Amino acid sequence: MIITVTANLTEEQALILAKEKGWSDTISSHDMTTEPISIVTVPNTQTVGEFLSNVYQAMVKNDAERIYISVFNQNRDLENEAARQMIRDQVATSISSVVE
């Protein structure tokens, strides 16, 4: 199944959304070649559109992983409980005693 999500945003709307999600027009990093270590600020080469695309792809990926793992764990727990119950039943029917 292919799911396509499209958003028609103005440049201003996209910029507002991106900034709320953590995008900045500059990126700061540590310059380890200087003593003392200094902070260097450079222009962000990632566009607002690329940033938003990455953010929402990551949200879908994380959500899907979390849900798939949860369903897998629930199914495994049900299978394990069924197996434990089968063992209990087998043990219960295989044991008998006679008191004289």
pLDDT attached to residue 34: 81
Query: Which helix H or strand E contains 16, and what residues bound it?
Result: helix 11-20
Domain ranges of the chain: 11-92
DSSP state of 39: E
pTM strictly above 0.85: no
pLDDT attached to residue 31: 84
Task: Evaluate whether 37 touches 30 at the Cβ level (below 8 Å).
Answer: yes
What is the rounded (10 degree) CA torsion for 73, 75, 77, 80? -130
pLDDT averaged per 10 residues in sequence order, the chain, 100 residues: 93 98 94 86 95 96 97 98 97 91
